[in-house]
Each structure stands twice: as C-alpha cells, then as structure tokens.
Amino acid sequence: MILEYPEYFERFRCIGGACPDTCCAGWEVDVDPDSAEYYKSVTGEFGERLRKHICEDEGECYFPLTEKRRCPFLNDKNLCDIYSNIGEESLCQTCTEYPRYFMDIGNYEQMDMSLSCMELGRIFYTETDKITYIRSENDVEGEVLSPEEQGTLIEVLALRNQCISVMQDSTDSFPQKMDTVRALVSEAQGEDPSLKDSTRAFLKEDFNDLSLLLSSMDSISPEWTEKLDFYRKLAGSPEELSKMETFAADNADHLDLWMSKTAVYFIFRYFIDTCIDGDIEHELCLLHRSLTLIQFMLFAEWLIKGSVDVSDMIYVSHLFSKQVEHDDGNVAKIKNLC
Ligand code: SF4
C-alpha cells in the first residue's frame, strides 16, 4: 500500500498534562472490539471501574461522558487513569490514534492529524513553513478497485496536489487562490470556470446562513455554546460586520498566510472523499464554508480582544475542528450532504 502523510506527522508528540486543552472531554470515546474485550478481562478494583463505565449500543462499545462532559477516566490533573493503571499499551484505538486519522482507498492510504489538537495546531502554524508530504510503501494489500474507481482516485489525487500547490506556491492573495482552486475544479468537471461559480449556492451564503448551519449541530461544550451565541449576534449586526474590512486590512499578511495554510489542511484531508461522495462539489463546499467560518471566528476574537496573533488562529481552528470535524453528521452538514 502507498502511504502519504505530511512531514509534521512524524514530529508530533502529545504533551499530555501540559496541554492547554484535553482531547478526553466533549465527545464519547468509542472503544474498539479488541480493547473492549480486554477491558472486560482486567481484574481487581480498576477492572471493576472499567466495566462499570463501558456501555454497549447495537454491538458498539463506548465510554459515556460524565455530567461534566469528560471521559470517566480523565482525572483532575487531566491525565488518563487507564494509562496510569494498566499502561499506555492498554489504551483503545481511538485514544492511541488521536489526533491522527487514516483514510484508505484501494492501495492508497492517506494519514494526517487533526487541528482539534492545539499542540498539532502549534506545530502546524508556528513550526511549519511549507507543508511537504512524504510517500512510503508497505506490504499491506488494499481492497481491489475497479478500473473506473482507480481512475477516479488518480484524478482526484492529481487535482488535490494541484490545488495544494496553488495554495502554497502562488504569490496571489488568498481570495484569488480560492478562485483558482474553484476554477481548477470546474475545469476538471469539464465545466466553464467563468460560468460554474454562478451555480454554486454556497458562494451566496452570508454569515447568518453559516451561523444557522453551526446552530443545527449539537454543541460539544459550554465554551462552544457561548461562542456560538456571540457568532449569531455578530452575524446579525451590520454595524459590527462593517468592521471586517478594517480587520482584514490590519491583518492582511498574516491572514493570507494562515488561511492559505488552513486551506491546504482541508484540501489534503477532504478532497479524497470525492471517491466516496461521488461529487467534488461537496468537498469544495466544505472547503469554502470551513475557511469562511474560521476567518469569521478569528474576526470575532479580534473584536473581543482588539488584536489577534497566531495563538488565536490556533485556537479558532482547534475550536472549529473539535466542533465539526469529529462528528460524521456535522461533516455531512458542512459538505451539504444532508
Ligand atoms: S489535545 Fe493533543 S496534546 Fe492535548 S492531550 Fe490530546 S493529543 Fe495530547
């Protein structure tokens, strides 16, 4: 199988108790069958505690959250009691892999890390000038694709690489680069780029539409609920929105760099989904909406604080990613699949 992943994949190390956030709160932890089986066999007091918290629904095991919406094994120091009682090797697949994700189609596997992890965000925005991708091979055989499926995969990966190159190598402004990406997609669809944009409904959405879309998702935390409340008020205030031009002018250089880099993340992560969704318009919609919302969230921080720096960019990308990217239903909404 061919493996492809960004260079920072190898540099990342979880900082555990020193993390400004925790990845063990806000979402239920899915427990893979092997780990569930093992947890059921652990003896002693800790084994009892494991069994008390493991739940099963239609054959799928998970740890439900506590009232404070934390993993039941996350202690007061934000450290994991499973790790400290029965060792790192006993963590379930979800906890071992996070913030990594794996996506394979045929003989190709794509690996990346989620911006919901703020340590990854720090590496991504402050220690990575240009994202380079590493390819390697292993002996694992992937599922056999039909010639048509294989052809689609090759075309999608080529288009993805072309769009990443636009975002990283062009000296155009970020909005111009987004125009170029949409034009490249239109050409690949055999459409006239100058006409296709007029049919893309997502380009006509305003901040009210987008904040309503966010409101249709279950909130992952009280922090998100509070922020969303602010975003909704902001989206409905022409007076506040009129300050966006000043925000964009004051932060022009940083915004171009941060937004282009964030676009690379979304293009690499999601364009391959075209092989499953069947129409790259869904991935283009996700790209446009995600970047518009992240920039809007950064604008909101600027209004609150009077200025923004890279730590705010790390924060809003993390917040967006945590709320949207780890729930298939939310991703489907952003892609306009439902
Ligand atoms: S969010 Fe990232 S750095 Fe923080 S505990 Fe989780 S994996 Fe580690």
Q: What is the pLDDT of residues 252-286, one digit of tens each?
A: 989 999 999 999 999 999 999 999 999 999 999 99
Residue nearest to atom 3 of ligand 1 (CA): 14
Distance 16 CA to ligand 1 centre (A): 6
Inform me whether the pLDDT recorded for 330 exceeds 80.
yes
Measuring from each residue's beta carbon to the nearest atom of ligand 1, which residues come in under 6 Å? Answer: 14-16, 19, 21-23, 98-99, 117, 119
pTM score of the predicted model: 0.93
Inform me whether the pLDDT recorded for 17 exceeds 80.
no
Q: Ligand 1 pocket test: which of 8, 11, 22 has the largest number of ligand atoms within 8 Å of its C-beta?
A: 22
Distance 281 CA to ligand 1 centre (A): 32
pLDDT for 27: 82
The 3-state secondary structure of 21-56 reads: CCCCECCCEEECHHHHHHHHHCCHHHHHHHHHHCEE
Inform me whether the pLDDT recorded for 68 exceeds 90.
no
**Contacts of residue 65, Cβ cutoff 8 Å, sequence gap at least 6:** 25, 26, 27, 28, 71, 72
% of the chain residues with pLDDT over 90: 90
Q: Ligand 1 pocket test: which of 11, 13, 21 has the largest number of ligand atoms within 8 Å of its C-beta?
A: 21
